[in-house]
């Protein structure tokens, strides 16, 4: 890449300008996906044109990058978007540090830390060392860099400015539209805008410089020639086999006693919850968090003991693995208990974002437990970080596929329909107002369903009337850089029921605003705290 340094600097500074063009005073939207894709495309172009081909395993990261970058445009729910942004950046980072080597799936926690620190160091220093190496190479080969005298350029600009000013004034007099545009350009360069222009120029340079560092790091430091702990473990086993089996055996005995009680008490049916006077909320919420905490620390305990325990014979290895299998089996039962507790709470009070996240998370943490014990049996412990990465990415991919906010609307409406049969309707449609644009199409779909009971439709319609009114207050015209399919689909869905919502009257005089339904019911356009 040393022979193509000019191309490198041109491309990275164009990317810096593109960042300014896409993000300056613009809300997040399609701009992030465009910029991330442009950066990745430019990096591949520079590296491939220099004869540096990526490892095949590194190419897997591109498909993951494409998925998460697309999610940032398609979904609007907060956790989904946060994980999509984070995962997109993570995929780009992994590509940068393993472009040539492609052994990212073998990284341990130490490798992740060390390689990310090295990449950060390259952001700061690599472009400088790169230019110094070019100068040294030119001096060693006797090639002197061409001397450029800036003064002819300065003189040319000074001579051109008055000539351009004369012709511009004549052309402005000849065409009114051209004159208006010229006046706008002159105002834009007003001295009041100078600090802003300087600030933007500075961060464009900084972004270009950092991107150059990333590309240079991928070209020179991503070979993965040596991975930590590949030949021997980072921590040599020092704890005796007997001590470890006593500790694990004691924990297993405790968990077994808990599970036995769970089978006769909790798994016996929901009626058993009230044996000691607990309500749904008290029992489910009281135990759920503790069970997840126990599962996490028990997994951490097993991984720690697996790393530090000496197992000198095959028998000791089999017994230790057997203890691990038993521990994980008991943990899975406890997670099922936690999952069922959460289900009881949701059956009583409906779904929320937090409960939905937790539902999905429990499934993935259960899979992690199974994979962990499989790696222990197969003696592939160093693959644990890869398993964690897959589980984390799986969780992040599950949320946009599930469409969290639409799922909440659908489940809570279905729950309302079921409870209506028992004359116990209590749909909290106000909570829908706290959801993102992802929820609007689902609400409209439910509202337009002919079989939906009238009381439920009225609540959903009131919530949609609030959404429509609130969106109508926002008269901003967002530029294309902030485009999002979620908002586009929400607007399209609201158009379908615009006439149907005319019977819902919004009282603008009160705060919070209040909607009166066609049957005279009042509905406030605000949501109480909901977890």
pLDDT given at position 270: 52
Would you say 93 and 116 are in contact if contact means Cβ atoms under 8 Å apart? yes
Q: Could you give the CA distance from residue 460 to residue 9 in angstroms, rounded to a whole number? A: 55
What SS3 class is residue 189? coil
pLDDT at 62 over 70: yes
Is the Cα dihedral 154, 159, 162, 163 positive or negative?
A: negative
pLDDT of 462 strictly over 60: yes
Can you name the residues that pair with 239 across neighbouring β-strands?
Answer: 309
C-alpha to C-alpha distances, 363 to 289, 358, 360, 370, 374, nearest whole angstrom: 15, 9, 5, 11, 17
Can you say whether residue 219 is alpha, beta or left, with left for phi > 0 and alpha for psi between -120 and 50 degrees? Answer: alpha
d(CA 361, CA 397): 11
283 touches 213 (CB < 8 A): no
How far is Cα 130 from Cα 13, in angstroms, rounded to an integer?
16
Cis, peptide link before residue 512, omega less than 30° from 0:
yes
Rounded CA-CA distance 106/431 in Å is 44
Give the model confidence (pLDDT) of 240-282 as tens digits: 888 889 998 999 999 888 888 766 555 555 554 554 555 555 5
Q: What is the layout of strands, in order, in the sheet containing 514-516?
A: 505-507, 514-516, 522-524
Model pLDDT for residues 226-240, shown as the tens digit of each residue: 666 555 655 677 788
Structure token digits, residue 218: 């991928």
**Phi/psi of residue 222, each to 5°?**
-110, 30
Give domain limits for the chain.
Answer: 2-220, 241-402, 405-524
Please give the DSSP secondary-structure letter assigned to residue 498. T
Q: In sequence order, which residues have a C-beta less than 8 Å from that of residue 145 and are 6 or more positions away? A: 135, 138
507 forms beta bridges with 514
Beta bridge partners of 515: 506, 523
Helical spans, DSSP H, in 267-403: 280-308, 314-349, 353-378, 384-402
What the block records as the tokens of 419 is: 């409870």
| Lowest-confidence segment of 47-61, 154-168, 298-312 by average pLDDT | 154-168
- pLDDT of 488 strictly over 50: yes
Q: What are the helix (H) ranges across 379-498?
A: 384-402, 404-420, 439-447, 454-473, 485-496
Number of H helices, E strands in the chain: 17, 3
Taking 90 as the threshold, does the pLDDT of residue 310 lie above it? no
- Bigger pLDDT: 141 or 313? 313
- What pLDDT, on the 0 to 100 scale, is given for residue 529? 47
Q: Which pairs count as long-range contacts for 390-393, CB under 8 Å and 24+ apart, including other chains?
A: 391/364, 391/365, 391/367, 393/64, 393/87
CA distance linking residue 175 with residue 45, whole number of Å = 44
pLDDT of residue 159: 79
Of 14, 73, 45, nearest to 437 by C-alpha is: 73
* Arithmetic mean of pLDDT, 483-487: 92
Structure-block tokens of residue 275? 């044996």
Contacts 24+ apart (CB under 8 A), 45-48: 45/11, 46/1, 46/4, 46/7, 46/8, 46/11, 46/215, 46/219, 47/1, 47/99, 47/215, 47/218, 47/219
| Three-state DSSP state, 256 | helix
Mean of pLDDT over the chain: 83
Cα 112 from Cα 15, distance rounded (Å): 27
How confident is the model at residue 402, as a pLDDT? 94
More confident residue, 356 or 529: 356
């Amino acid at each position: 890449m040393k022979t193509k340094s000019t191309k490198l600097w041109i491309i990275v500074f164009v990317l810096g300008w593109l960042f300014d063009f896409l993000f300056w005073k613009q809300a997040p939207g399609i701009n992030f996906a465009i910029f991330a894709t442009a950066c990745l495309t430019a990096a591949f172009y520079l590296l491939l044109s220099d004869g540096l081909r990526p490892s095949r395993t590194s190419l897997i990261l591109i498909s993951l990058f494409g998925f998460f970058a697309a999610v940032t445009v398609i979904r609007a729910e907060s956790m989904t978007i946060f994980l999509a942004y984070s995962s997109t950046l993570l995929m780009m980072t992994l590509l940068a540090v393993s472009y040539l080597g492609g052994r990212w799936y073998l990284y341990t926690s130490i490798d992740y830390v060390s390689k990310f620190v090295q990449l950060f160091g390259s952001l700061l220093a690599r472009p400088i060392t790169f230019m110094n190496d070019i100068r040294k190479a030119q001096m060693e080969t006797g090639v002197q860099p061409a001397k450029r005298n800036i003064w002819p350029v300065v003189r040319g600009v000074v001579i051109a400015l008055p000539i351009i000013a004369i012709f511009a004034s004549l052309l402005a007099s000849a065409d009114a539209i051209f004159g208006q545009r010229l006046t706008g350009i002159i105002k834009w360069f007003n001295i009041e805008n100078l600090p802003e222009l300087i600030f933007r120029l500075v961060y464009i340079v900084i972004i270009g410089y950092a991107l150059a560092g990333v590309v240079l790091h991928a070209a020179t430091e991503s070979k993965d020639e040596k991975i930590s702990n590949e030949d021997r473990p980072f921590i040599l086993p020092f704890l005796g086999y007997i001590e470890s089996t006593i500790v694990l055996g004691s924990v297993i005995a405790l968990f077994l006693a808990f599970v036995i009680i769970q089978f006769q008490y909790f798994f016996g049916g929901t009626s058993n919850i009230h044996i000691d006077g607990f309500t749904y909320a008290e029992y489910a919420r009281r135990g759920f968090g503790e069970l997840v905490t126990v599962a996490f620390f028990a997994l951490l305990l097993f991984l720690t003991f697996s790393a530090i325990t000496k197992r000198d014979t095959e028998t000791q290895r089999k017994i230790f693995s057997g203890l691990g299998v038993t521990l994980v089996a008991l943990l899975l039962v406890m997670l099922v208990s936690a999952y069922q507790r959460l289900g009881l709470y949701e059956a009583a009070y409906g779904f929320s974002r937090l409960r939905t996240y937790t539902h999905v998370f429990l499934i993935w943490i259960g899979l992690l437990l199974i994979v962990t014990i499989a790696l222990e049996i197969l003696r592939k412990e160093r693959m644990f970080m890869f398993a964690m990465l897959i589980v984390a990415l799986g969780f992040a991919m599950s949320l946009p596929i599930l469409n969290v906010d639409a799922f909440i609307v659908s489940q809570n409406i279905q729950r309302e329909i079921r409870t209506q049969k028992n004359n116990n309707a209590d749909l909290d449609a106000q909570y829908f107002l706290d959801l993102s644009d992802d929820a609007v199409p689902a609400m409209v779909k439910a509202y337009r369903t002919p079989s939906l009971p009238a009381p439920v439709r009225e609540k959903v319609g009131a919530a949609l009337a609030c959404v429509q009114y609130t969106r109508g207050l926002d008269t901003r015209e967002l530029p294309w850089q902030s485009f999002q399919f979620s908002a586009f689909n929400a607007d399209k869905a609201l158009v379908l029921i615009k006439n149907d919502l005319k019977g819902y009257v919004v009282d603008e005089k009160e705060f919070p605003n209040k909607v009166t339904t066609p049957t005279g019911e009042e509905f406030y356009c605000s949501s109480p705290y909901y977890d």
